[in-house]
Structure 1
Amino acid sequence: MTTVLETEGLTKAFGRLVAVDDVTVSIDSEDITSIIGPNGAGKTTFYNLLSGQLKPTAGGVRLRPRGGGDLVDVTGDEPYEISRLGLSRAYQINNVFEGLSVLDNVRIARISLQGRTLDLTSRATEDEELTERAWEVIELARLEEVAETECSNLSHGDTRKVEIALALGTDPSVVLLDEPTAGMNASETRKMVDLVQRLNENTDTTFVLTEHDMEVVLGISDRILVLDSGGLIAEGTPAEVMADERVKEAYLGGEEA
């Protein structure tokens, strides 16, 4: 296995509140890794540090670029710089262009990878190579049937799949998934789990997710990291984590995250 993302002593304080406290982790390329913890454990802040939305108070983040190579220090880099290097994020709140088709949304993701500006999207349909690669991503995400559909007319499940397609459109080495099954019914949840597992097997992208549904977490994860009060309290396989007394104590009387 190869480390694609790692943190060392990663810390974020807001005044006296330490939201992420000295977290050191390594994410391996072959694993689907889930990050869980009670509400307020620091998961969102940790994601924001990884993707550049927040700058750390201490510690660092290193990312393996798309295409391989040595880990690169991205501590304090801007989100667009980290994205261009190889880390993409699919948000819990839909972040698609609702007035455009699925295909046009993925084209825009490809344009951003190429460093082109969004005012060139009017000519994107004339770029055969761009369109061909966009279709490859759409097929990976199983969105062929709705490729020409305006995103405002999609089901919730398909809209979340578009979010993942946008992330894949930049050829990332790592994708952070933020509550990928939130708001889904049982059938949509099964399809999303199947999609992530298939993408993990058939692409060079490594998937990391936060998720409230513990059934999903236990079914999809090769490795689980548990945060509580900003600190890493446990890590390991699903069986190892669920047997950990610190994890049981953190969730005792609380809602799983």
Structure 2
Amino acid sequence: MIPAWLTDTVTPNLDRALHYTHLWGLEGIELRTLGGPSDRVPYVNEGKLKRRLAEHDVPVVAVVPGMFEGDAAARTAWLNEVVAFGETLAFCRRIGCRLVVVSAFSRADDPAPAVDALRRAGTAAARQGCTVAVLNEAGGAFPTGTALAGLLAAVDHPNVRAAWSPAEALQAGEAPEEGLQALAGRVALVRCRDGQPGRSGWTPLPFGEGAVGWERQLRLLHRQGFQGPLSLELDVEPRPRQGLRAATRLIEMMRTLRRNAS
């Protein structure tokens, strides 16, 4: 497993993000925006990015270009995204990244268009040696692990896998263990954040202090043979300080897991 983080949840500044990566003891970064709010991958300063990655010896474990965030029934919109996906894949090839995180649509009354879109994206990714990781989101069309597993089974493409967020599943009312069991063998990346559902809605909490049950998640991931990125998504203030705490806690959990497995 690779401890990493989604950088723009703390800063869109590349140099600051790389500094935090080393300071917190993490081994990779997941990129979504760099620079301003509209500077989303792959449309970023690639020359500077490649130089800084080489200087700091930090790999990009995944990119998040903002695909498939709309209604699956809007066929023209997602077809255009599939056509433009080639630019993201070329960008990934140039920076040495093999994983692209996409959404699972905000709405899909009929799952067939979502299946078609993801299968097309998977075929394009396969030609470049990349994998598409589909994220479950609490407000999306496939918010739980069980729902996402059903979608991936229908897509049935080796280059289309899951970006699993147990916190999003918990927000959607699913026990995280059940969601991960449903996704067994399909997970390519795990988003790591924590919180507590309640009568007034979802309350974000520091990593490891909420209701997700991260020790159990990591044990189950280990048993499933997962070796991919564990990407921290920081949403508790003050974020730089919480980032250090979250990274330290994640690394401690990983070390404990390795000790107990040896």
For this structure pair, what is the TM-score category when the shorter chain's length is used for normalisation? 0.3 to 0.5
User: Going by fraction, where is strand more abundant, 1 or 2?
Assistant: 1
Greater RCO (CA < 8 Å, at least 6 residues apart): 1
**Bigger radius of gyration, 1 or 2?**
1
Give TM-score, length-normalised by structure 2: 0.35
